[in-house]
Amino acid sequence: MAHEDSAGTGVNRELLKRQVGESGRGQRLDLVAARLFPDYSRARIQAWIRSGHLRIDGRASSVREKLLGGEWLSLEIDVPPCGEWPAQAMTLDIVHEDQAILVVNKPAGLVVHPGAGNADRTLVNGLLAYCPDLAGVPRAGIVHRLDQYTTGLLVVARTLPAHLALVNMLKARQVSRYYQAVVHGRLAGSGTVDAPIGRHPVRRTRMAVNERAGKSARTHYETLATYGHYSHLALQLDTGRTHQIRVHMAHLGHPLVGDPVYGGKRRQRAPLGDSIAERCVGQFARQALHAGQLAFTHPVTGVEMSWQAPLPDDLAELIGALEAEYK
C-alpha cells in the first residue's frame, strides 16, 4: 500500500496490489478482483476496471478478460480528504501521545471510521477535533480498526511518515496485538487457527472462513480459565482480517459470548437462568472481546513500546460472575 498527494489537491491517492492465485485461472477479472478487494462492491470494481484505475500487471483491461493466474492487480483509488469529515469534540481515552502517534483506548459502541450508516460521531470525527492536523493524514491517521462493539487499544499516526511506517509494520506483522475474549464452550490449552478469511459467499456483509478465495489469517489462543460451559481466552493476531477473531472462534465451534453476527444458535439460545452468571451471559449486549495490549517499535524513535488497557466494566463483570459461579 502506498500513499501520495494527488496533484497537490489534498486528496490522498492509495495504491493497493494483490496477486492472482491459481484459483483465479480462467476466471473473469471482475470476479477475481471482487474477491481480492473485498472491501468494495463488484459494481465499483467493474467501474474501476473500465476507468483504468484497476489494472493487470500495469496495463488497462476489460471486465470480462480471463486471467491466467499469477498476475498482479493494482487498484489506485482516491481517499477523500479528511476535511470532508466534521471535527466533533468528544471524550477520548488517550493512553499515549507524542509528535508521531496517538494510542487510544476505544469504548464499546464507538465506530472507528465514517461510512455507510455512520456519517459522523465516529472516532475519526473525535480525533479531528482533538488534533486538527490529522486532516492531512490518510484516514485521519487510522491504520487498523476495531469493530464497533469491540473495546481496546488502537494506534493513530499523526504524520504521513509515521502512517506509512505503521502500515508497513502491520503488513510485515511487526505490530503485536493481544486480546481477551469469553467464548461459548470449554476450550482447553492453547492452539492456532490458521484458516483464510474472505467475504461470506452469500451474506456479503459477513466474513467467513473461505479456503478458495479468502486471505491468509492466523489467530493464536490460550485458555486462561474455563467456567462451566464458557472459556476465558487470551488471543494474539498474526494478521488483521475483518472480524478475524470472531470468525475464527466461530469456525472452531466456540463463538464469542454476545456476538450478534457469528454467535449462531448459541447466541439465539443464550440462557436467562436463575444464576447471576447465566443472566450475565444471556444479557451481554456485545461480543465479549477486548484489545487489551498493543506493542510495536516506535516509527520515529525506534524504541520498543507497549501499552495495556484494563478490561472494561461489562467484560470484567461477566468474567467475575462466571468465576464466582463456577470456581
81 versus 117: the higher-pLDDT residue is 117
Segment 223-238 mean pLDDT: 96
Question: What is the pLDDT at residue 5?
Answer: 43
For 150-196, write each residue's pLDDT tens digit.
999 999 999 988 998 998 899 899 999 999 999 999 999 999 999 99
Question: What is the pLDDT at residue 9?
Answer: 43
Lowest mean pLDDT: which of 77-81, 194-198, 237-241, 299-303? 77-81
Looking at the predicted structure, is the pLDDT value of residue 4 above 70? no
Looking at the predicted structure, is the pLDDT value of residue 84 above 80? no
Q: Give catalytic residues, as residue numbers.
A: 147
pLDDT band at 39 (very low <50, low <70, confident <90, very high): low
Looking at the predicted structure, is the pLDDT value of residue 204 above 80? no
Segment 240-259 mean pLDDT: 96
The rounded percent of the chain whose pLDDT value lies above 90 is: 69
266-296 burial by CB neighbour count: b if 16+ within 10 A, else e?
bbeebeeeeeebbebbeebebbbbbbbbbeb
Question: What is the pLDDT at residue 102?
Answer: 98
The secondary structure of the chain, three-state, reads CEEEECCCCCCEEEEEEEECCHHHCCCEHHHHHHHHCCCCCHHHHHHHHHHCCEEECCECCCCCCECCCCCEEEEEEEECCHHHCCCCCCCCCEEEECCCEEEEEECCCCCCCCECCECCCCHHHHHHHHCHHHHHCHHHHECCCCCCCCEEEEEEECCHHHHHHHHHHHHCCCCEEEEEEEEECCCCCEEEEECCEEECCCCCCCEEECCCCCECCEEEEEEEEEECCEEEEEEEECCCCCCHHHHHHHHCCCCECCCCCCCHHHHHCCCCCCCHHHHHHHHCCCCCEEEEEEEEECCCCCCEEEEECCCCHHHHHHHHHHHHHHC
Lowest mean pLDDT: which of 49-53, 112-116, 198-202, 266-270? 266-270
| Contact in structure between 3 and 12 (CB atoms under 8 Å) | yes
For 44-62, write each residue's pLDDT tens digit.
899 999 999 999 999 999 9
Looking at the predicted structure, is the pLDDT value of residue 272 above 80? no
151 versus 325: the higher-pLDDT residue is 151
Residue ranges of domains in the chain, CATH in brackets: 2-79 (3.10.290.10), 82-172 (3.30.2350.10), 178-294+305-326 (3.30.2350.10)
103 versus 39: the higher-pLDDT residue is 103
Looking at the predicted structure, is the pLDDT value of residue 268 above 60? no
Lowest mean pLDDT: which of 54-58, 82-86, 194-198, 279-283? 82-86
Question: What is the pLDDT at residue 2?
Answer: 47
